[in-house]
């Protein structure tokens, strides 16, 4: 019997099945540093223990200083790859991702996934698998959870299709469902330290922000980032895994790059509270220069002192598009769009 | 007088001579993170403080969480380069490497080496130097020790040869000589968390395992790894140091890459207890795609609850060789073989 | 109104104006590790907590182990870029940089700058801005301060020139003004651990030291280093930012590379106490091979047990220049010189 993991195929999934993913992973300040070396992030909360303490997110001596939410996301997500998406044709989407508990150095994350939907494709060669994944820390608290659906190959195309189950997933996390860190307080927010003066009231629904800066991707950087999250998908690391001999950049690398670039114009979007959905609309490769723009989709009150929520569309593009065009007249994504991410961020009022 | 270190030449070594190598080096969680960004390692013990605690290798709060054994090896080995192998023609071999004490963040390693053998080559231009190196932590405990032999240039070829002394070195560390971490206990081993279900009894002597995955090497990654260990050999960093203008990849980089790749099929080979020997059979360069396979050479009982030892041949290849051929009919290493490493690993029973 | 930072132009600066730069940044052992992966540093104080403790710079259990001074410098300097030099034509110089307090993991640095000089260029298109920048830690202690002057574009060339104010800056920090860490004591200095035997008295004014080793720069490494310091200057990251399509290497990357290379011959120049001045005399790019040499410019007594100060010229070159020529007969920097840095280092007597 082979000792190696061949991954799961469409027929290996059943509604209600639960995967306890390997391997748990302890987060450290080393992760913070490597993240900061790979992404141009400057958000004040993960950058400064003192700033975090000033808004209720760390002890006054700086201990318990949260890392970037996306570090938790990438680690938790990477765990699911060997069981869920090793034989994926495509990552189709995310929904209902909520950050429920800040991740701090010393926390160990462990992820499990439950199969919540199955739908075989009409060609009989593949199907869509829906999972709800939950990452818990060493105290058993949920750090984040989310739904995701992927298209997975069938191993045996002669097998009958399972009963179709398509879960109902919210297109947007309702503001009342956002989980605000328990002691978050932006009442004494230090705008000079944070880098910009814009508050909740300065952002208008429909407003677009060109984040101006661009970063040209490099092979070593995207591999190091992806590996740090123990993501094992071959295409990111092995030039022999794709016919074109190129390493595909992990979609999460583009997410983190866009989030970091968005500092310039959204420096006060300190915390990501939820990801409502996201599409990786085109592949990215080394030597692409990635830019980002945002659109304010909605605004909401939240129940924490001095805190408001902005619903933002965060778009990454290959090459700068000052017109900030998402889709053409044909309804298709404009050429150059790499990522269309819909998220809730917490900002000072 | 020159202030810089010209390294030692063959005639500078004498039997019994001891080098106290510079510079001591404190290990941190930062090293763990950089290591995890450069190698696709997912072994549960170094990945998770909670998992380590569950097998007796960390405190219940996660403190004292050991790093990968190879971090200790690379740091300890890197120290010896300026004194032992700056003028080396070739690294000829290792033997009797034992990990004696887990290395945890906060530990400071310091290495010394004693010359235990000398043999001038018949051409009079170089000779083989045998050293036994010992790395101790800040409490004076031996973290690891090993023997190594290198071929070193003579500065003055007119000098007479020293008396030939060739030390007797064991071809394999005897199972009874393996040092098992004092509180290691695999009785309650969590196979789901570790990522595979295979136990000691599932592995048969003679069995070969193709680890499937490959990683294409990049210049920045091998340089960063090698530099992290303070290894100063010019050929790894300087395109002007070799006639072909290429940076040679540090052999230890291939060792760590192969060890990490071996997770897929040997996820439960949690700890490396000893390295019996190793040959770097061909040079590696950026853009090479490295794969790995293993062969079970032997199995042994060890005196710790739930723990067994597997003696493994770990082979790294350039390009994947599904036939897992070590040597051709001519007795020479098959084309593509980069590394032939012989080690003892500890697995759950 | 645009939400993004356009940077300041010459006419935006006024004498006495103070910038509180975003964003504070907490230093961790992760920064130490990434720094050690990118630069071949082996100085014993930042490498070993035990060595640091043995010279009074850490607690006996290794806590409070300072990081490399240049980590503090790069972080503090990076903060000033968005406010001071985003529209800079050129960085013209530094002066009077003093390290006043070791930076240890857990420290949060915050930088402010005061405009101390202004001089419009005769062409009316740009001007020189002089600032004094101060980085303080979370206890309000000054970690380092320095003066710097940059040439900045005017936005509106029709505006009148401001009154010219050129501050008086010392060409060298006087030895009596060096700040020696309060408990520094080199009386029991361990030369074997530090890697070289040369003491204060072994260095002569006028002596030059060829540091021998070279490192070929790579794109990912210089980007990761520069990003770690949250330096946002586009030209380092974006191939679309310069007409030649090349990423310019951050000058500080060359400083750190040269400092690390200087270990070979100046291993006992443990601490940098001050930077008297520095010029980036030519741009550096990936694939350049950087070497370094030093010249002893002066020696001074300082008031700490066993400690002396060497004033050193640290020169980085593209390609090795064994003749160690700084300038040609025409008084211009020799071809290949990248950096001419003037600093005070503390060495054992």
Q: How far is C40 from chain B (nearest CA, A)?
A: 6
Residue C222 contacts A, CB cutoff 8 Å: no
List the alpha helices (DSSP H) in chain A.
29-38, 44-47, 49-54, 69-80, 191-194, 219-228, 251-261, 263-266
With beta carbons under 8 A apart, name residues in chain B contacting C44.
22-24
Q: How far is C153 from chain B (nearest CA, A)?
A: 35
- Decide if pLDDT at B261 tops 90: yes
| Average confidence (pLDDT) over C48-74 | 97
Smallest Cβ–Cβ distance between A211 and the set C4, C138, C221 belongs to C4
List the alpha helices (DSSP H) in chain C.
29-38, 44-47, 49-54, 69-80, 191-194, 219-228, 251-261, 263-266
List the beta bridge partners of residue B145: B98, B134
Taking an 8 Å cut-off on Cβ atoms, the answer to whether B215 and A228 are in contact is no
Residue B59 contacts A, CB cutoff 8 Å: no
> For residue B233, what pLDDT is reported?
86
Confidence of residue B106 (pLDDT cuts 50, 70, 90): very high
Taking an 8 Å cut-off on Cβ atoms, the answer to whether B36 and A238 are in contact is no
With beta carbons under 8 A apart, name residues in chain B contacting C64.
none
Taking an 8 Å cut-off on Cβ atoms, the answer to whether A26 and B218 are in contact is no
| Average confidence (pLDDT) over A303-327 | 97
Q: Return d(Cα C340, Cα A15) in angstroms, integer.
A: 67
Which residues span the domain enclosing C239? 10-156+166-182+197-348
Residue C109 belongs to domain with CATH number: 3.10.129.10
Pick from B57, B191, B216, B219 the residue to mutate for testing the A interface (most A CBs within 10 Å): B216
Tell whether A161 is covered by a domain: no
With beta carbons under 8 A apart, name residues in chain A contacting B267.
22-23
To the question of pTM greater than 0.90 for the whole model, the response is: yes
Which tokens is B144 given? Answer: 């690891």
Confidence of residue C112 (pLDDT cuts 50, 70, 90): very high
The 3-state secondary structure of chain A, one letter per residue: CCCCCCCCCHHHCCCCCEEECCCCEECCHHHHHHHHHHCCCCCHHHHCHHHHHHCCCCCCCCCCCCCCHHHHHHHHHHHHHHHHHCCEEEEEEEEEEEECCCCCCCCEEEEEEEEEEEEECCCCCEEEEEEEEEEECCCCCEEEEEEEEEEEECCCCCCCCCCCECCCCCCCCCHHHCCCCCCCCCCCCCHHHHCCCCCHHHCCCCCEEECCCCEECCHHHHHHHHHHCCCCCHHHCCCCCCCCCCCCCCHHHHHHHHHHHCHHHHCCCCEEEEEEEEEECCCCCCCCEEEEEEEEEEEEECCCCCEEEEEEEEEEEECCCCCCCCECCCCCECCCEEEEEEEEEEEEC
- Decide if pLDDT at A87 tops 90: no
Q: Which C residues in the span 100-159 are in contact with B, Cβ-Cβ below 8 Å? A: none
Question: Which of C5 and A284 is assigned the larger pLDDT?
Answer: A284
Smallest Cβ–Cβ distance between C23 and the set A42, A62, A218 belongs to A42
Confidence of residue B151 (pLDDT cuts 50, 70, 90): very high
Q: Return d(Cα C27, Cα C75) in angstroms, integer.
A: 9
With beta carbons under 8 A apart, name residues in chain C contacting A62.
26, 106, 108, 138
Q: Is the peptide bond before C118 cis (omega within 30 degrees of 0)?
A: no
Taking an 8 Å cut-off on Cβ atoms, the answer to whether C23 and A219 are in contact is no
Q: Return d(Cα C97, Cα C69) in angstroms, integer.
A: 11
Tell whether B3 is covered by a domain: no
Q: How far is A31 from chain C (nearest CA, A)?
A: 7
SS3 label, residue B51: helix
Q: How many CB pairs under 8 A join B and C?
A: 134
Q: Return d(Cα B231, Cα B77) in angstroms, integer.
A: 8
| Average confidence (pLDDT) over B68-89 | 93
Q: Return d(Cα C309, Cα C347) in angstroms, integer.
A: 6
For CA atoms B266, B271, B276, B282, the dihedral sign is positive
Which tokens is C26 given? Answer: 């907490």
- Decide if pLDDT at C263 tops 80: yes
- The Cβ of residue B93 has, within 10 Å, a number of other Cβ atoms equal to 16
Taking an 8 Å cut-off on Cβ atoms, the answer to whether A230 and B34 are in contact is no
Smallest Cβ–Cβ distance between A138 and the set B37, B50, B220 belongs to B50
- Decide if pLDDT at C338 tops 90: yes
- Mean pLDDT score across all residues of chain A: 96
Tell whether B86 is covered by a domain: yes
| Average confidence (pLDDT) over C100-111 | 98
- Cα B188 to its chain centre, rounded Å, is 29
Residue C29 contacts B, CB cutoff 8 Å: yes
Tell me how many degrees the CA angle C59-C33-B291 measures, rounded to the nearest 5. 140
Q: How far is C154 from chain A (nearest CA, A)?
A: 20
With beta carbons under 8 A apart, name residues in chain A contacting B216.
237-240, 247
Q: How far is C333 from chain A (nearest CA, A)?
A: 32
Place of tokens 């933002």: A312
Residue B83 contacts C, CB cutoff 8 Å: no
Q: How far is B32 from chain A (nearest CA, A)?
A: 7
With beta carbons under 8 A apart, name residues in chain C contacting B234.
213-214
- Decide if pLDDT at C172 tops 60: yes
> For residue C273, what pLDDT is reported?
98
> For residue C90, what pLDDT is reported?
82
With beta carbons under 8 A apart, name residues in chain A contacting C234.
213-214
> For residue C142, what pLDDT is reported?
98
Taking an 8 Å cut-off on Cβ atoms, the answer to whether C106 and A62 are in contact is yes
Instruction: Mean pLDDT check: name the lowest of A269-283, B158-172, C76-90, C132-146.
Output: C76-90
What is this model's ipTM? 0.96
Smallest Cβ–Cβ distance between B37 and the set A34, A138, A219 belongs to A34
Domain count, chain C: 1
Taking an 8 Å cut-off on Cβ atoms, the answer to whether C5 and A50 are in contact is no
User: Please, which chains are in contact with B (at least 3 CB pairs closer than 8 A)?
Assistant: A, C
Q: How far is C63 from chain A (nearest CA, A)?
A: 15
| Average confidence (pLDDT) over A188-201 | 97
Which tokens is B315 given? Answer: 């082979």
Q: What is the pLDDT of residues B175-184, one digit of tens each?
A: 999 999 999 9
Q: Compute the CA torsion angle B143, B145, B150, B152 (nearest 10 deg).
A: 70
Q: Which A residues in the span 228-287 are in contact with C, Cβ-Cβ below 8 Å? A: 264-267, 287
Pick from A33, A61, A262 the residue to mutate for testing the C interface (most C CBs within 10 Å): A33
Residue C3 contacts A, CB cutoff 8 Å: yes
- Mean pLDDT score across all residues of chain B: 96
Smallest Cβ–Cβ distance between B50 and the set A22, A24, A219 belongs to A24
Q: What is the pLDDT of residues B287-315, one digit of tens each?
A: 999 999 999 999 999 999 999 999 999 99
Tell whether B191 is covered by a domain: no
Tell whether A190 is covered by a domain: no
Instruction: Mean pLDDT check: name the lowest of A115-119, B195-199, B231-235.
Output: B231-235
- Decide if pLDDT at A1 tops 60: no
Q: What is the pLDDT of residues A35-57, one digit of tens each?
A: 999 999 999 999 999 999 999 99
Element (H, E) at B273: strand B271-280
Tell whether B190 is covered by a domain: no
Pick from A26, A68, A112, A217 the residue to mutate for testing the B interface (most B CBs within 10 Å): A26
Smallest Cβ–Cβ distance between A28 and the set B32, B193, B194 belongs to B32
> For residue B1, what pLDDT is reported?
56
Tell whether B177 is covered by a domain: yes
Confidence of residue C1 (pLDDT cuts 50, 70, 90): low
Confidence of residue C232 (pLDDT cuts 50, 70, 90): confident
Tell whether A76 is covered by a domain: yes
> For residue A232, what pLDDT is reported?
84
- Decide if pLDDT at C156 tops 90: yes
Q: Return d(Cα A194, Cα A197) in angstroms, integer.
A: 8
Nearest residue of B to residue C319, measured between CA atoms: B240
Taking an 8 Å cut-off on Cβ atoms, the answer to whether C3 and A40 are in contact is no
Taking an 8 Å cut-off on Cβ atoms, the answer to whether C49 and B26 are in contact is yes
Backbone angles phi and psi of B211, in degrees to 5: -80, 0
Query: DSSP character for C175?
Result: G
Taking an 8 Å cut-off on Cβ atoms, the answer to whether B192 and A20 are in contact is yes
Taking an 8 Å cut-off on Cβ atoms, the answer to whether B247 and C319 are in contact is no
Place of tokens 């190091």: A224
Residue C319 contacts B, CB cutoff 8 Å: yes
């Amino acid at each position: 019997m082979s000792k190696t993991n061949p991954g799961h195929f469409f027929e290996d999934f059943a509604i209600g099945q639960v995967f306890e993913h390997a391997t748990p992973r302890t987060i450290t300040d080393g992760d913070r540093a490597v993240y900061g070396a790979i992404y141009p992030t400057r958000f004040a909360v993960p950058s400064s223990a003192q700033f975090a303490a000033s808004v209720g997110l760390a002890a006054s001596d700086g201990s318990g200083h949260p890392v970037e939410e996306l570090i938790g996301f990438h680690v938790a997500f990477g765990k699911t790859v060997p069981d869920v998406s090793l034989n994926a044709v495509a990552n189709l989407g995310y929904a209902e991702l909520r950050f429920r508990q800040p991740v701090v150095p010393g926390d160990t994350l462990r992820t499990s996934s439950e199969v919540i939907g199955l739908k075989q494709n009409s060609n009989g060669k593949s199907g869509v698998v829906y999972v709800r994944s939950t990452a818990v820390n060493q105290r058993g608290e949920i750090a984040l959870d989310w739904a995701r659906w992927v298209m997975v190959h069938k191993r045996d195309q002669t097998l009958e299709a399972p009963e179709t189950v398509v879960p109902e997933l919210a297109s947007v996390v309702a503001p009342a469902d956002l989980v605000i860190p328990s002691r978050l307080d932006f009442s004494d927010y230090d705008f000079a330290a944070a880098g910009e003066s814009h508050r909740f009231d300065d952002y208008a629904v429909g407003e677009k922000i060109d984040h101006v800066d661009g970063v040209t991707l490099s092979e070593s950087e995207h591999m190091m980032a992806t590996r740090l999250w123990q993501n094992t998908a071959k295409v990111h690391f092995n030039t022999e895994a794709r016919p074109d001999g190129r390493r595909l950049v992990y979609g999460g690398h583009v997410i983190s790059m866009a989030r970091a670039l968005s500092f310039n114009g959204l420096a006060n979007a300190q915390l990501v509270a939820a990801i409502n959905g996201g599409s990786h609309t085109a592949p990215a490769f080394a030597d692409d220069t990635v830019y980002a723009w945002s659109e304010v989709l909605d605004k909401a009150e939240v129940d924490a002192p001095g805190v408001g929520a902005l619903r933002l569309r965060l778009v990454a593009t290959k090459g700068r598009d000052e017109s900030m065009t998402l889709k053409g007249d044909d309804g298709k994504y404009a050429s150059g769009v790499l990522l269309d991410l819909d998220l809730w961020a917490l900002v000072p009022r």
